[in-house]
Amino acid sequence: MSALLDNFWVLLALKLAVVAIFIPTFSLVLIFAELKLSAHMQNRIGPYFAGGRWGWAQPLADGLKFMQKEDLVPADADRPVFKIAPMIVLMGTLAVFVIVPFAPKLVVRDLDLGVFYALAAGSIGTVGVLMAGWSSANKYSLMGGLRAAAQLIAYELPLVLAVVGVVIAAGTMSMGGIVAAQVEPWFHIGSFGVRLPFILQGQVVGFAIFMIASLAELSRTPFDMPIAESELVMGYLTEYSGIRFTMFFLAEYAGMFSMSAIAATLFLGGWYVPGLPADSAAMYLLGPMVLIGKVLVLVFAMIWMRWTFPRLREDQLQSLAWRWLIPLALANILVTATLKVVF
């Protein structure tokens, strides 16, 4: 058995299988969280009947409902592109989880270029969105797809630049290395080492920019012009139904999870909380719990923002990215680099 586990390929396949099963399941939990949280924020109860008093089976029921729907492809649509688009979006989101460290040794593959890989994989979804908009043979979908592409590309830059600040502070691009840099004490008071996550090590601005940009990357309110704009009905999602729609839907929530996981690892300290024994075997259990706890806090913030704000207009969205976030992120890099060199 252990010989089997030592085999690189078997181990890899096992890890990927865990990711592929665990992430969509956890997305269902996030979907349920959104339904209940939004309901309580609006003074309603939310799902109530499916699966007993809590309505916990509501996402399952919705999933089953979507699966049994008719598989519709518009007559004029570009069939191969139409069918592949949701898969590409979902794949891009799931691929990010390869480098998220759940515990000191619990990561699918701790690449040296972890951060770089995460950002690159995350932006594959943009191609999928464009494909969806184009192949739907619907002028409104096309307009929605183009607007979505513009928005996603515009907000890639602040996302990347915000992360660069952390990379400079940590000195490495590997996710495991970044967490390790936060485990190490930042400075000592006497013999007591003060350990702080990067958000408290001066990356507050970076964190804020990252959260805003990730909301825009996920096309969530207040940046949901591409899908929920009243003129474009559902934008690039208009012609999708059934399982294909489920894939987009899951990709959104998996994306929330992945963006929050990256933010938690980069800015909030990942699986580490000061006081935990960083090297012991208990971390295999505690580490994921800590990380998921932080992820849930960030996801709560995202849900909260969705149900409080109206949506920004397209030009306001773009000006926010280009005129505010990018200069701020550049300034953040400058300050971080200066401090790193000086101290």
Partner 1 sequence: MIDRHLLAMHQSEVSVSVELETPDVTLNLGPQHPSTHGVLRLIAKVDGEVINEVEPVIGYMHRGYEKLAEVRTYPQITALVNRIDWVSGFANEIPFIVAVERLMGIEAPQRAQMIRLVLTEMARISSHLLFLCSYPLELGAATPLMYALRERERVLDLIEGVTGGRFHPNFNRIGGVKPAAGAGSTQKKVVQDLPEGFLEQTRDAMKNVLSECDDMVDLVLGNEIFIERTRGVGLIPADRALEYGVSGPNLRASGVRFDVRKTDSYLPYGGFDFEIPTGVNGDCFDRYTVRLEEIRQAARIVNQAVDAMPSGELQAKVPRIVKVPKGATYVRAENPKGEMGYYVVSEGGRGPYRLKVRSASFSNLSILPWLLKGQLVPDIIAILGSLDFVLGDVDR
Taking CB under 8 A as the rule, does residue 221 contact partner 1? Answer: yes
Binding mask of the shown chain, residues 309 to 328, with x at each position contacting partner 1 by CB under 8 A = xxxxxxxx------------
Q: How far is the CB of 31 from partner 1 (least distance, A)?
A: 9
Q: How far is the CB of 182 from partner 1 (least distance, A)?
A: 33
Cβ proximity to partner 1, 106 vs 237, nearer residue: 237
Contact 212, 220 (CB under 8 A): no
Q: What is the DSSP string of 272-326?
A: --TTS-TTSTTHHHHHHHHHHHHHHHHHHHHHHHHTT--PPPHHHHHHIIIIIIH
Taking CB under 8 A as the rule, does residue 233 contact partner 1? Answer: yes
Cβ proximity to partner 1, 11 vs 228, nearer residue: 228
Q: How far is the CB of 307 from partner 1 (least distance, A)?
A: 5
Taking CB under 8 A as the rule, does residue 172 contact partner 1? Answer: no
Taking CB under 8 A as the rule, does residue 42 contact partner 1? Answer: yes
Taking CB under 8 A as the rule, does residue 57 contact partner 1? Answer: no
Cβ proximity to partner 1, 156 vs 224, nearer residue: 224
Q: What is the largest CA-CA distance in the chain?
A: 73
Alpha-carbon distance 166 to 178, whole Å? 8
Q: How far is the CB of 240 from partner 1 (least distance, A)?
A: 9
Q: Which DSSP helix (H) or strand (E) runs through 187? A: strand 187-189
Question: How many CA within 13 A on the CB side of residue 235?
Answer: 18
DSSP 102: S
Taking CB under 8 A as the rule, does residue 110 contact partner 1? Answer: no
Q: Which DSSP helix (H) or strand (E) runs through 193? A: strand 192-194
Taking CB under 8 A as the rule, does residue 338 contact partner 1? Answer: no
Query: Could you tell me which stretch among 123-131, 161-169, 266-274, 304-312 binds partner 1 (CB under 8 A)?
Result: 304-312
DSSP 64: H
Cβ proximity to partner 1, 110 vs 229, nearer residue: 229
Binding mask of the shown chain, residues 79 to 98, with x at each position contacting partner 1 by CB under 8 A = --------------------
Alpha-carbon distance 266 to 306, whole Å? 23
Contact 70, 231 (CB under 8 A): no
Contact 101, 176 (CB under 8 A): yes
Taking CB under 8 A as the rule, does residue 196 contact partner 1? Answer: no
- Residues near partner 1 (CB under 8 A) are 38, 41-44, 62, 138-140, 221-222, 224-225, 228-231, 233-234, 237-239, 241, 245, 249, 307-316
